[in-house]
Chains A and B, each alone.
Chain A
């Protein structure tokens, strides 16, 4: 079967993890893997795998646009600001993994279909991917919830320089995405880098101010949503709740990574790359299907 070609910009943790996941895909293949740093571990890995690489970053794609139909941008928010208009001109389906917020905010468990019809989608943040679908489920049961909060802690070792230098966008984008997807009046997001050794698993706690929660219904909705996410993020798990304590409903989520590039504790990396690959595959499936029908 023919596969759809993808390009990856950014050879850091996220880009390299995407590359490894794509090797397994039935619908995708990597046409080009580009970055700025010729000495990066990612570029070395890609070359060993026989992948076409370049250190000219986006220029390599501009020069040779036939190498990919879908582009993942795993650079940084400020770099994506420059890349986005170029990719638009090249008519590439763009999946942005930085917290730039240029494209349509995408959380596959919530709005996958709509996101296939636009040219640039943004995957919010790892905390957003993990928590927002659960928050939407909670809001479905208790639509008058006025305040919801996320505490997302990730192992220090799994936060690359991109995440660190974008910590402010990372926090703000998560807050704004929670508010826009759930329609809650006020949201808060707290991001914590945990330096503990051995590294801790990605851990998310959701608090919602609900006076008289319908716990049975909440549990049902939360588990239903978790099962949808599990389909594309196998290591996703509700570890506690929803439980009612101190006048708030608490739910805890743990994400164990697939261990593709970084070790399994990096669930934060995995949840966003899994979501990205899931979107690319859906896009590719549609493309392949329409081609078959046209023939």
Chain B
């Protein structure tokens, strides 16, 4: 099973965890050291991708272009990748400048039921001969049949693979095996899986995804990522070694970069806080965590209640503005009627 390729989102998903404050120095040092590790691509940029630096999601410390330039200089063996969500970035303002910097690989992402908004961007990039993958986020919010339908759309636009993201870390092992095996049987292009660790299953779910047919694993070193973090790539590689699945990755190199560089970039060790746990249970995007904490403090409501309410309203990534709305709603209800957000009521 050595044909599995690894997408490294450390400097993309990790950006969420530090309020998008990656510095030029961070990017240079990381890319210089990881280039030899055998990863297929290192994806660099704001957590929500090109053009997402905003008051809504958070402003990046440096521009997209500067981030990509720093990475471009250092990455020689590993492809330089970027992430883009249509509706955030545009072809003119974001994709063309990224092509000019020399980005090799593009991931065009959207909510799991909205694949048709990626058509313009995927077709444009394929015409420019850029390696392009489609990404379906929050895959747990829809059925496997619908996922196949959406993945086939991306395939028809010319995507070379489709990655499904467990953006909220809401997957149980059964959900992963069931969805991944069904998808891999029904699409022709490569299938990938991107895990989050809200329920402590990011590594396990990635292994299950491999055992059920995915050919792309998207994860991060040290699990550095939004909310509870991602599939910790070096741990997964270790696990694969142990069960006899060989990869061409340099595990010691990954461990060194994880210990010496990623640990320094991180503000605190990646942990599963109660907030992350609740977001996994509620099935809400992990990247909301910091915004929820702020709103909870400001309106004096329980952040867990905000998460459960966001889950009820099925909020998707990019709707950070609704968090304030929900917090205000909960604050206004306080005392009048006590709605129960007990875990039992969800099951």
Q: Which of A154-197 contact B (CB under 8 A)?
A: 156, 161, 164-168, 171-172, 175, 188, 190-197
B contacts with A, residue count (CB < 8 A):
34
Find out whether the CB atom of B56 lies under 8 angstroms from the CB atom of A156. no
- With contacts A193-B117, A195-B113, A196-B314 taken as known, whether A167 is within 8 angstroms of B321 at the C-beta atoms is no
Find out whether the CB atom of B91 lies under 8 angstroms from the CB atom of A164. no
Interface check A222, CB cutoff 8 A: no
Residues of B with C-beta under 8 A to A164: 114, 116-117, 119
- With contacts A151-B321, A153-B318 taken as known, whether A205 is within 8 angstroms of B86 at the C-beta atoms is no
Interface check B143, CB cutoff 8 A: no
Q: Which residue of A lies closest to B117 (CB)?
A: A167
Name the distance in Å between B63's Cβ and chain A's nearest Cβ.
12
In angstroms, Cα B298 to Cα A153, docked, is: 24
Find out whether the CB atom of B87 lies under 8 angstroms from the CB atom of A172. no
Q: Which of B111-129 contact A (CB under 8 A)?
A: 111, 113-114, 116-117, 119-121
In angstroms, Cα B113 to Cα A164, docked, is: 12
Interface check B90, CB cutoff 8 A: yes
Interface check A252, CB cutoff 8 A: yes
Residues of A with C-beta under 8 A to B318: 151, 153, 190, 192
Find out whether the CB atom of B87 lies under 8 angstroms from the CB atom of A195. no
Find out whether the CB atom of B313 lies under 8 angstroms from the CB atom of A151. no
In angstroms, Cα B90 to Cα A252, docked, is: 24
Interface check A248, CB cutoff 8 A: yes
Interface check B2, CB cutoff 8 A: no
Find out whether the CB atom of B54 lies under 8 angstroms from the CB atom of A149. yes
Name the contact of B116 in the complex, choosing from A165, A175, A191, A245 (C-beta under 8 A).
Answer: A165
Find the residue from B86, B91, B313 having the highest chain A CB count within 10 A: B86
Interface check B141, CB cutoff 8 A: yes
What are 23 A-B interface contacts by the 8 Å CB criterion? A149-B54, A149-B55, A149-B56, A151-B321, A164-B119, A165-B120, A168-B90, A171-B86, A171-B90, A190-B56, A192-B87, A192-B319, A193-B114, A194-B316, A194-B319, A195-B111, A205-B56, A205-B321, A240-B325, A246-B294, A248-B55, A250-B324, A252-B321
